Amino acid sequence: MVSSVVFPLVRFCVMEPLSRPAVIVADMLVDFVTGALANPPSQAIIAPLALLLSGARERGWPVCYVNDAHLPGDVEERLWGPHALAGSVGAQVIPELEPHPGDMQFGKRFYSGFHQTGLDVYLRQRGVETVIVTGQHAHICVQHTAGDAFFAGYRVVLATDGVTAFTPADNATGIAYAEQMYGAVPLTNAEILATPITSGT
Ligand code: ZN
């Protein structure tokens, strides 16, 4: 099988040092965990994400939350109904992952954390070269965020124990698509935090 040959090689290559990383957390919001679009599987990534974010802050990596902050009538409502309305409790990051001083939050009205949010400029001004994408959903906002990161020239890592979706199949589909189309590298938190860093940001 080609895949059994290729994937170990890819994995070997990506264990080279992460280059100027930042962590992006997508939609770990009240509405996406317990609210309008409640997703019970998201509970499983809260503790791992908290550890990853703690490790990132210790290392001086930028931590950026990309949060749905919709206006009434946004196009996504056609598919999902009203959710994460700007300024509402449902649009707030869950308390367990509350942003720390120095973290950044970017409101978004579309799936991608890069679309009309200012995230790209923020990362570029800090010399970020690799984005570690986390949160939910793997096949929706995580995928679109990873895609825009790829198109903008960033290297993309997916934190496999910090990403989820409504179903394991959707999660696997999203991760596989990002691997194949964006060269995203799936790494566990332990692998991310153990990986040598070429330079700080
Ligand atoms: Zn939305």
CA atoms within 13 A on the CB side of 116: 7
pLDDT of residue 28: 98
Q: How far is CA 125 from CA 14, 24, 118, 128, 136, in A?
A: 24, 16, 11, 8, 26
pLDDT of residue 195: 80
Residue 37 is given by DSSP the state T
Instruction: Calculate how far, in angstroms, residue 68's C-alpha sits from the geometric centre of ligand 1.
Output: 5
Model pTM? Answer: 0.90
- pLDDT, one tens digit per residue, over 66-120 is 999 999 999 999 999 999 999 999 999 999 999 999 999 999 999 999 999 999 9
Residue 110 is given by DSSP the state S
Highest CATH level, class, for 18-198: alpha beta
Instruction: Calculate how far, in angstroms, residue 83's C-alpha sits from the geometric centre of ligand 1.
Output: 6
Instruction: Calculate how far, in angstroms, residue 185's C-alpha sits from the geometric centre of ligand 1.
Output: 25
Q: How many CB atoms lie within 10 A of CB 177?
A: 16
pLDDT of residue 196: 67
Instruction: Calculate how far, in angstroms, residue 71's C-alpha sits from the geometric centre of ligand 1.
Output: 10
- The residue ranges of every structural domain in the chain are 18-198
Instruction: Calculate how far, in angstroms, residue 21's C-alpha sits from the geometric centre of ligand 1.
Output: 26
Low-confidence ranges of the chain (pLDDT < 50): 1-5, 8-9, 11-14, 200-201
pLDDT of residue 8: 47
pLDDT of residue 134: 98
